[in-house]
């Protein structure tokens, strides 16, 4: 399936059914958006483990907290912009403060909602939620990563925010790839520059590595699927062994992956980091690839940034 394009929300939809079959404590709290967030199959096959609370995100968070206190493992499902911002107070007070076992599973992360417009493009969600204590923040890079990381989230006790893409993105892993929350995956080895990406931008990092390699530049590529807890050791290895890092993300460059990496670099007191991502601005109603281009989230910009850092 490598090279095939599938949205990570599809991987979530399949994974949650598989998990629900095996564990009757797994349940879905749907915010009346099952078609878009791919929970329809779960509702059909496992109706006793499914609850649709309607268009009421804050209520969904509260209901999920209640289910968790009764020993259930609820996945509350909605769009990223609503799951992070509209539900934020309930996530902080009712889920993270008591450290309840609730998973917030959100599709339409970043600018992948594209033509839905700026109001539906969640560009600050991971940054907002990573600042809340007890929260784990994960964004899979492809279909297989989504399936594996959803399963890992179900095993991990405590609040987890899972961010998925609306648009189809290339499959880069095979079904045997293993993942661990909080541990980056090294996709390419190199000693000249490190490219750390997550989610739908990992494919751009890999494309950039190929172009740099053809020009004699060896780039290390990391899939930092978990930005909290960040794999600090992987970042430190890049800082100490290479000294130059480019971060790439479909998220505001403020308080996302780039900021998390810069925090490590700042505390270490070494290295040079350049951030590529949403340039602290709202999106527009435009095709997905065009929105990435408007923010410099492109293979070409990664390549040029790498070459400028090596001068």
CA distance 48 to 144: 27
Backbone dihedral angles phi then psi of residue 11, each to the nearest 5 degrees: -60, -40
Strands annotated E in the chain: 5-6, 26-30, 50-52, 73-79, 103-107, 136-138, 160-163, 169-170, 185-188, 193-197, 219-223, 226-228, 244-252, 272-278
Q: How many CB atoms lie within 10 A of CB 217?
A: 18
Triad 63, 65, 71: Cα angle to 5°: 110
Backbone dihedral angles phi then psi of residue 99, each to the nearest 5 degrees: 50, 60
Q: For residue 76, list its beta bridge partners.
A: 29, 104
Q: How many CB atoms lie within 10 A of CB 267?
A: 10
- Is-catalytic flag, 57? yes
Backbone dihedral angles phi then psi of residue 275, each to the nearest 5 degrees: -105, 130
Q: How many CB atoms lie within 10 A of CB 189?
A: 10
Q: For residue 188, list its beta bridge partners.
A: 221
Residues across the chain = 311
Catalytic position from the list 18, 45, 48, 57: 57
CA distance 311 to 309: 6
Establish whether the linkage from the previous residue to 280 is cis, with ω within 30° of 0: no
Any idea which residues carry the catalytic annotation? 57
């Amino acid at each position: 399936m490598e090279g095939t394009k599938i949205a990570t929300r599809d991987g979530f939809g399949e994974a949650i059914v598989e998990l629900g079959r095996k564990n009757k404590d797994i349940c879905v709290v749907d915010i009346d958006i099952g078609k878009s967030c791919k929970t329809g199959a779960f509702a059909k096959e496992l109706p006793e483990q499914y609850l649709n609370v309607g268009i009421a995100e804050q209520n969904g968070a509260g209901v999920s907290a209640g289910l968790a206190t009764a020993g259930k493992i609820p996945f509350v499902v909605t769009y990223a912009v609503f799951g992070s911002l509209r539900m934020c107070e309930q996530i902080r007070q009712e889920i993270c403060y008591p450290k309840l076992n609730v998973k917030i599973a959100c599709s339409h992360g970043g600018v992948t909602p594209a033509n839905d417009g700026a109001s539906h493009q969640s560009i600050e969600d991971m940054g907002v939620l990573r600042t809340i204590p007890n929260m784990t923040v994960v964004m899979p890079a492809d279909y297989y990563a989504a399936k594996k990381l959803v399963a890992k989230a179900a095993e991990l006790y405590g609040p987890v925010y899972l961010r998925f893409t609306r648009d189809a993105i290339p499959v880069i892993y095979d079904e045997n790839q293993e993942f661990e929350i909080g541990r980056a995956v090294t996709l390419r080895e190199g000693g000249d520059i490190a490219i750390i990406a997550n989610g739908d931008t990992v494919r751009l990092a890999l494309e950039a590595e190929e172009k740099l390699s053809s020009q004699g530049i060896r780039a290390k590529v990391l899939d930092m699927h978990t930005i909290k807890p960040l794999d600090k050791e992987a970042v430190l290895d890049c800082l100490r062994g290479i000294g130059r890092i480019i971060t790439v993300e479909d998220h505001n460059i403020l308080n996302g992956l780039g900021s998390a990496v810069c925090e490590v670099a700042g505390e270490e007191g070494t290295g040079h980091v350049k951030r590529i991502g949403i340039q602290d601005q709202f999106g527009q109603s435009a095709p997905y690839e065009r929105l990435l281009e408007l923010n410099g989230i492109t293979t070409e910009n990664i390549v040029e940034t790498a070459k400028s850092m090596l001068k």
